[in-house]
């Protein structure tokens, strides 16, 4: 009888051990599933909330033919969503107030207002009576669209790159960002054109670069040397943001 009980206990313990060994991989699989990131609300790449603000360092360099050095400007801009109106078609129009100052020690001076029309499939920005479409939904690296579909400029095929990737600007770090490429014509020996923006979840626009150069073609010696004859470069880098202005 003792031998029977001993053998039976071994069998029970082995059954328990087998069950435990079977459960371990299931728990591991479940753990992996649970550890996946929460679903991303891609509309949060430009959060539209009254009071939300973004402050940028702005740098401009303007090149002119015959001038040895560019004219350099550096200042700050603040964009703040000031109001929202719900339209009869169900879309919403947000008004953004833009202010500027030379340094952080100066007072903000309002310079303009612009609007953002929010639709389920896109955002339309109207700045200085020029409408562009910097964001379309759903966000996907495989899609392209004409960012100038609502203005009279030449068509430009916009597309996304580096979706949901981390990024750092100065002292600010962002867990999930995407890059919008508006134009990238950077291989010509005649000119150089680059337009790109970067957006961060829960923040909005964090970086904007607009560069358009014409290279020197006046002499054989300068052709193909990348010497800028005329044009400009403007960058905006976010330095602060929040749910309401200071």
In the chain, where the domains are located: 1-36, 42-242
- In whole angstroms, give the CA distance from residue 71 to residue 69: 7
Residues lower than pLDDT 70 in the chain: 1-39, 244-246
pLDDT at 28: 40
pLDDT at 80: 98
Q: If we measure between CA atoms, which residue out of 139, 138, 159, 137 comes closest to residue 147? A: 159
Non-local (6+) Cβ contacts of 195 within 8 A are 156, 181, 182, 183, 184, 209, 210, 211
Q: Tokens 């904007």 map to which residue?
A: 208
- In whole angstroms, give the CA distance from residue 162 to residue 203: 17
pLDDT at 244: 63
pLDDT at 37: 46
pLDDT at 151: 97
Long-range contacts from 105-111, C-beta under 8 angstroms, 24+ separation: 108/78, 111/77
For the stretch 135-151, pLDDT in tens is 999 999 999 999 999 99
pLDDT at 35: 36
Q: If we measure between CA atoms, which residue out of 88, 110, 93 comes closest to residue 101? A: 110
pLDDT at 66: 85
Question: Would you tell me how many other CB atoms lie within 10 Å of the CB of residue 81?
Answer: 21
Are 54 and 46 a contacting pair, CB within 8 Å?
no
């Amino acid at each position: 009888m003792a031998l029977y009980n001993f053998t039976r206990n071994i069998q029970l313990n082995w059954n328990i051990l087998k069950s435990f060994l079977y459960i371990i991989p299931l728990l591991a699989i479940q753990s992996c599933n649970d550890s996946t990131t929460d679903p991303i609300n891609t509309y949060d790449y430009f959060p539209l909330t009254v009071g939300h603000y973004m402050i940028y360092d702005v740098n401009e360099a303007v090149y002119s033919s015959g001038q040895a050095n560019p004219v350099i400007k550096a200042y700050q801009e603040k964009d703040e969503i000031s109001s929202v109106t719900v339209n009869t078609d169900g879309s919403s129009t947000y008004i953004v107030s833009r202010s500027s100052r030379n340094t952080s020690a100066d007072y903000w001076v309002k310079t303009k207002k612009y609007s953002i029309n929010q639709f389920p499939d896109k955002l339309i920005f109207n700045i200085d009576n020029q409408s562009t479409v910097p964001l379309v939904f759903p966000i996907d690296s495989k899609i392209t669209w004409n960012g100038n579909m609502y203005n009279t400029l030449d068509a430009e095929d916009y597309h996304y790159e580096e979706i949901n990737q981390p990024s750092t600007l100065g002292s600010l770090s962002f867990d999930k960002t995407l890059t919008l490429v508006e134009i990238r014509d950077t291989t010509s020996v005649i000119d150089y054109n680059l337009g790109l923006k970067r957006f961060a979840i829960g923040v909005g626009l964090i970086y904007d670069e607009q560069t358009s150069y014409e290279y020197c073609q006046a002499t054989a010696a300068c052709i193909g040397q990348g010497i800028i004859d005329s044009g400009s470069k403007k960058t905006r880098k976010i330095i602060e943001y929040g749910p309401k202005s200071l």
